[in-house]
Chains A and B, each alone.
Chain A
Amino acid sequence: MTAFRLPEGGAVDRGQIFAFTFDGMPYSGFSGDSIASAMLANGVRVVGRSFKFRRPRGIWGAWIEEPNAIVNVTRSGRTTPNLRATTEALENDLAVRPVNAWPTAAQDRAALVDKLSAFMPSGFYYKTFLWPRWETFEPAIRAMAGLGIIDPDHRPPADNPHFNARCDVLVVGGGPAGLAAAAAAAGGGEVVLLIEDHADVGGQLVHRGGTIEGGEWRGWAASVRAAIELAGGRVMTSTTAYGVYDHNLVCAWERRVGRPDALWRVRPKRIVVAAGAIERPLVVPDNDRPGVMSADAALVYLRRFGVMVGRRIIVATNNDAAYPVAEALAEAGAEVAIFDARADSLPTKLDVWRDSEIEGVVGSSGVEGVRIAGQTRPADALLLSGGWTPTVHLYAQARGKLRYDEALAALVPGAEIDGVTVAGAANGAFTLDEALRQGHAAGGGRGVAPNAPAGGYRIAAHWPRPDAAGRRWIDFQSDVTLGDVALAGREGYVSVEHLKRYTTLGMATDQGKTANVNGLAAMAALTGRTIDETGTTTYRPPFVAVPMTVVGGRRRGALINPLKRLPLEPEHRADGAQLREYGGWLRPAWYGTDDPERTIQREAARARESVALFDGSSLGKIEIIGPDAARLADFNSYNRLSSLQPGKIRYGFLLSETGVVFDDGVTLRLADDRFLVSCSSGHTEAVVLRLELWRQDRFDPRRLVVHDTTAHWATLTVTGPRARDLLAALDLGVALDDASLPHMAFATGAFEGGPLRVARVSFTGDRSYELSVPARRARTLRARIVEKLPEFGGGLLGLEGLMILRAEKGYVVVGKDTDGTTMPHDLGVTGPREQRRDEYIGKRSLFTPAAEDKMRKQLVGLSVPRGEAPLPTGAHVVEGAGKARRSLGYVTSSAMSPTLGLPVALGLVEAGFARAGETVGVYHLGEERRASIAPAVALDPEGTRLHA
């Protein structure tokens, strides 16, 4: 193809020149160009290489249907792969490269692959690369076949907004049918959202022109736009509706100039799909040569961009739509001939060859001639027009069924589906007057539709014959030929779904927009079925490739999984806290910038020796209130709670319905009819949900309420042998002697005019006090405690130090020291299972054969000799050696105990309780160590420190 820019014409701004490169060669274009139009204007013929055979490829289309011109685009040093040159606007200083050619598209080193094409039919790699194994070849094949290379330095900001919108009528497509539908709906007072994927409305009118209501179409389009806006609607251009989802939710990608692209989620009352149609190729020999192009696309380049696609052009067609193209190109100065497959062509002054059958295309790197009737006719462009394929994707995604229309040689929408109407070319109306009529009706218009001169469209189906000679491409992007379809048929892959997967027909990034109908027609011919009987593959979103940045939107970085924040975070930061995530909260891990390991050890040791303060505000605080509160508390818990006296606290488990430990925590009985469930920080929402579920499903919700008060309270825990001394020094007005406030009891008081709750519970094994106050008062309380800490030799304690303290005591962290099979008796807690006769969640599952299996994994301690390093968490506990080595379980928690001076560890081990004292292996990353099964409690098994 020797395409070139005409001295005038097109909608480009010739006063604004943009420089760009393709394959390193410098070129220039105009503002308003697409990358593809600019490449054509510069005479670039080969824009890429085919996916499989590495054949040179040129530009086929002018918009989203383009299968060949897939490029990497570098802007300001950042490369974005896999863009369509036909839909990307040209900008200044773009560097454009084909996705799969090296060193250039024109001189690709792998071009020799095409010489081996006879040995590379469909599915050849499934059959060929079996030995020694597929993975041996996979990297090289992927490197050759891949589309583009991700630029690791290109990390676009997470700034693509997602908008929600509602309207009465969503019109997809701003062509004549879409505009007519929108005009009718807006005229009826409905709020219309009209979405058009080009930067301007008009659709085919933009390059084919048209007269509507007696005038040039643009005047009518402008009046429609005004009517839409007057009725409260909106016209969105450069926006592609790419998917219909449940309840007719439509997602659309808006490309915005100077602002990040946006994703729209539109929930319309009804949808009008007027998405137009795409021209498909004729399946002639060598139809993939650079210079072979869609006839309609050639007209787009002429009218939109002032680019002539060749000087000596042959238009091959089987329908009427190619004739205006040929005449326009001839009028613009090209030498044009028409090869019509039909006997009765339209009247024209051009040279028409009737009943013509193209026998081949001459020119390996670009069209040099076309063979017909045994002779070669010189040409530099061959335009193919095989008929229109309606863009029915959104209708089909909404579960609409297609039917084959013989007269149109096209698959068109069948029965109307709820809330979705299809109009215009998408519904087989390929003339302007019919498109306007359909659009008007789809929009609910009354009276006469917008007027246009009567048009006509005739086509003679010219489907590919499976036995036809020559290499004929059906799917340009996936490099699937007619021969591949025939092979699939011979091998039994006659279902279109099997055909698709065996040959990859329609599986490339263009999703077979130009290929699918030809492919299924070929299969229909091959199997002797009709096209209707052959059917189509399933249409799924997205209609076009949508950038992942747009899909992901702003939910990246800090917003992908935001954390809850403590009310005292500023104070922790001021004290040098190193903050980490624990159970969905950002909490202090340790304090200071010294070596973390030494700091954590120091904090843990100090807590054992004197006193420490840690922030327990994230612990759940869920109230169960009402006359039936005790019944729900009992049902929710493995341990009975109704026997708990007001003022007292009980530790226990919550089980899932499968009897597995769901969470643990303490419950405070605030009053006869009021309990406070203090569950794990990370499980609060789930515990609230299950309480609410059972409240509503099993109990009388009028006698029972669940209130989550976690966020209202801040909890500061003072722990250590000197904890009581420190609290006494604070003078909180609460009696602290053990008779008044024993372990597992709480007292209430006041602090700064607000409530104060002091609970004696311990997650460290030492005497501890949890002080809870409303969050706004926590700063003062903490400041007072922190001020007193040095006086008692105490300090701050982060979560890492706390984890050491609780591991020394064998206190479990549910989800860490338990897994999806752990039941309470696996943790040594059997009382309720043996004694409770009433119902509670999970009870039934505790008595199944699996629950009573003697070989269940049970929580035990794992001890190693003094001087050895801690066991790796996650390491397998094993028995046997070599091939006989068998996993018995794994290490769940492990730490160096500063108090004991040796490592401590917990593990879930098969029949662990019965293995007490047994020596086992601990296998990790190819190395095995020895450990002995020990009690889970490594420090103070008598619990004397709780009262010290």
Chain B
Amino acid sequence: MRERTWAPARRAGGTLIDKPRLTARALTGLGQTLVSGDLEAAIASLGPGAPLLGLYAPAPTAAHALRIARDRALIVTPTPLGAADGWRDGWCATTVDDGFAAIDVEGPDAALALSQGTSADLAVGSPSAAVLFAGLRCLLARTEAGFRLHVEAPWLEALLTWLDGA
């Protein structure tokens, strides 16, 4: 490619990759809230009952939290929470509904894409769902037919370009 020639970025919505053996579909309308500090208290307040998930853990359709660090997680809810941003008693929340793009990757080649994307030992797992995937910081969860990635929205096109060739 020429340095100045960049393919137009795909907007997060609908089916983003549709190959015979690999598809990527955007999850839209999710609520995503960054919480830090006392995660137990944060989840109890913003997503009561939501499980705190580590690397490549099965992601439910209901509210769940993807752990990013010891004291940080992304609470994912089917719709935006609309919670007030700011400091609480020992924890804080920041709305990032539009900050992360989420995609479900499925198809017979999804496992191959996964083995290309990350060197993490998915069989062993990790308390944190954060991982470098295709060289990008992502949160990785398992789905029934493949896997789910949450990536900072500005990197979505880079991730899709990578998946196009996976």
Which residues of A from 670 to 684 have beta carbons under 8 Å from B? 671, 673-674
Q: Which A residues are CB-close (under 8 A) to B11?
A: 570
| Contact indicator A562/B155 (Cβ below 8 Å) | yes
Q: How many residues of A contact B (CB 8 A)?
A: 49
Contact across chains for A563 and B6 when beta carbons are under 8 A apart: yes
How far apart are the CA atoms of A534 and B90 in the complex, in Å? 66
Q: Mark A775-796, 1 if CB is under 8 A from B, else 0.
A: 1100000000000000000000
Chain A residue with minimal CB distance to B69? A692
Contact indicator A711/B1 (Cβ below 8 Å): no
Is the pair A702, B8 in contact by a Cβ cutoff of 8 Å? Answer: no
**Does B19 make an interface contact (CB < 8 A)?**
no
**CB-based contact B116/A162 at 8 Å:** yes
* Contact, CB under 8 Å: A579 / B6: yes
Shortest Cβ gap from B92 to chain A (Å): 5
- The yes or no answer to B156 lying at the interface (CB within 8 A) is yes
Q: Determine the distance from Cα of A562 to Cα of B135 in the docked complex, in whole angstroms.
A: 10
Q: How far, in Å, is A676 (CB) from chain B's closest CB?
A: 11
A709 and B99 contact, CB distance less than 8 A? yes
Q: Is A164 a contact of B119 with CB atoms below 8 Å?
A: yes
A-contact bits for B130-162, CB 8 A (1 contact / 0 none)? 000001000000000000000011111110011
Is there an interface contact between A564 and B154, defined as CB atoms closer than 8 Å? Answer: yes
Q: B161 near A558 (CB under 8 angstroms)?
A: yes
Report A-chain residues with C-beta under 8 Å of the C-beta of B100: 711
Chain A residues with Cβ below 8 Å from B86 are 625, 671, 673-674
Q: Does B26 contact A (CB under 8 A)?
A: no
Least CB distance from A835 to B in Å reads 30
Does any Cβ of A come within 8 Å of B15's Cβ? no
B21 to chain A, nearest CB (A): 13
How does the 8 Å CB contact mask read for B75-92 relative to A, with 1 for contact and 0 for none?
000000000011100101
| A709, B153: Cα distance in complex, Å | 11
Residues of B within 8 A of A579 (CB): 4, 6
A residues near B97, Cβ cutoff 8 Å? 712, 774, 776
Whether A558 contacts B6 by the Cβ 8 Å rule is yes
B123 at the interface (CB under 8 A from A): yes
Is A267 part of the contact surface with B, judged by Cβ < 8 Å? Answer: yes
Residues of B within 8 A of A707 (CB): 34, 36, 92, 94, 96
Query: Quick check: B116 and A558 within 8 Å, CB to CB?
Result: no
CB within 8 Å for A565 and B162 given contacts A163-B115, A707-B36: no
Q: Which of A166, A585, A702, A713 contacts B123 (CB 8 A)?
A: A166
CA A674 to CA B71, docked complex, whole Å: 18
Q: Please judge, given known A-B contacts A166-B121, A585-B154, A707-B92, whether A565 and B9 are in contact too, CB under 8 Å.
A: yes
Contact string against B for A residues 548-583, beta-carbon threshold 8 Å, 1 for contact and 0 otherwise: 000000110111001111110110010000011100
| Contact of B126 with A by CB under 8 A | no
A705 with B36: CB separation less than 8 A? yes
Evaluate contact between A265 and B119: CB separation under 8 angstroms.
yes
Bound form: Cα–Cα A623–B92 in Å: 11
Per-residue A-contact encoding for B34-67, CB less than 8 Å = 1, 0 else: 1011000000000000000000000000000000
Give CA–CA (A371, B100) in the complex, Å: 78
A267 touches B121 (CB 8 A): yes
Residues from chain B with Cβ under 8 Å of A562 in the complex: 155, 157-158, 161-162
Nearest-Cβ distance from residue A154 to partner chain B, whole angstroms: 17
Residue A586, interface by CB 8 Å: yes
How far in angstroms is the closest Cβ of chain B from A263? 10
A164 to B122, CA, bound (A): 11
What would be 25 A-B contacts, judged by CB atoms less than 8 Å apart?
Answer: A161-B166, A162-B116, A164-B115, A267-B119, A558-B1, A562-B161, A569-B9, A570-B8, A570-B11, A573-B8, A579-B6, A586-B9, A623-B85, A627-B87, A702-B37, A705-B36, A709-B94, A711-B100, A711-B154, A712-B95, A712-B98, A712-B99, A713-B98, A774-B95, A776-B98
A interface vs B, CB < 8 Å? Answer: 158-159, 161-166, 265, 267, 554-555, 557-559, 562-567, 569-570, 573, 579-581, 585-586, 618, 623, 625-627, 671, 673-674, 701-702, 705, 707, 709-713, 774-776
Known: A585-B154, A626-B92. 13 other contacts (CB 8 A): A158-B165, A163-B116, A554-B165, A559-B161, A562-B162, A570-B11, A579-B4, A705-B87, A707-B36, A707-B94, A709-B34, A711-B100, A775-B98
